[in-house]
Amino acid sequence: MSPFHRTRKTSRAGRIGAATAVMLAAGALLASPSMAQPGRAAKPAAEAKPTVVLVHGAWADGSSWSPVTRRLQRDGYTVDVVANPLRGVASDAAYLDAVLKTISGPIVLAGHSYGGAVITNVANPNVKALVYVDAFIPDQGENVIQLAGAKPGSQLGGDPTQVFDFVPYPGAVNGDVDLYVKPSLFPGAFANDLPKAQGEELAASQRPLTLSGANEPSGPPAWKTTPSWALVGTKDNVIPPAEQLAMAERAHAKITQVGASHLSMLSHPKDVERVITQAANASR
């Protein structure tokens, strides 16, 4: 074959390659929703899912939210589980607010137990909904010890020396101490609808709340200006269900009752997730 024919063959192949590339590019453009359907608008930014921020309570850590976190992530939510310092309502709320300021866009803020007191003390304009899960919902001036004993039924009531182990900590002011729930009491109080072995494991890994934090008065409540939801565990032996209902009704929260212990996030994660997603959908 002459050089002329080889040149023609190469040129023809080049033309075919170029034509193929153009067709592929055109196909890609036509496959794009914005090109194939020019009349269909892109999804509005307002429809984006809010970030869900979860705040654990006293005598717990972020792992208490793990089953709920997995479900929310599977449903496409960005989830942040805050490591609650458990040093005191005002300082814990300040730490939480610092975390929230790093998040752009709308936020659904959920708190469990003492975490409910913490989220109540955060005033952040990006928080569009508050979710209380077996939680304290204090008004200004109230504290968690006061609220836990406001109605009968809490196994954390009575003689504190029979309920807590008192542990000094470095830098404590005015004789403050860390409070640990006695391991023998923990499973029946917190985890009465979970396997006994799991309750014992949770007792061994509990993180303490300070005595001063348990008695610290709450500040102006965020629930007065932010829509609220509440899940009430009807088998709760820490915060009596009657007290949870009274606090939730006072906050005009949308209430869901579940036959769960104080740790409904572990025993009934599907129900907890459902309440959080209801709040998320309402805030969009």
Strands in 228-233's sheet, in edge-to-edge order, are: 79-82, 51-55, 107-112, 127-133, 228-233, 254-258
Question: What is the model's pLDDT at position 23?
Answer: 37
Spans of the chain below 50 pLDDT:
1-46
**H helix intervals, 209-283:** 211-214, 241-250, 264-267, 269-282
pTM higher than 0.95 for the full model? no
Question: What is the model's pLDDT at position 48?
Answer: 86
CATH class of 46-153+218-282: alpha beta
| Contact partners, residue 43, CB within 8 Å, separation at least 6 | none
Question: What is the model's pLDDT at position 209?
Answer: 98
Q: Per residue in 251-262, pLDDT tens?
A: 999 999 999 999
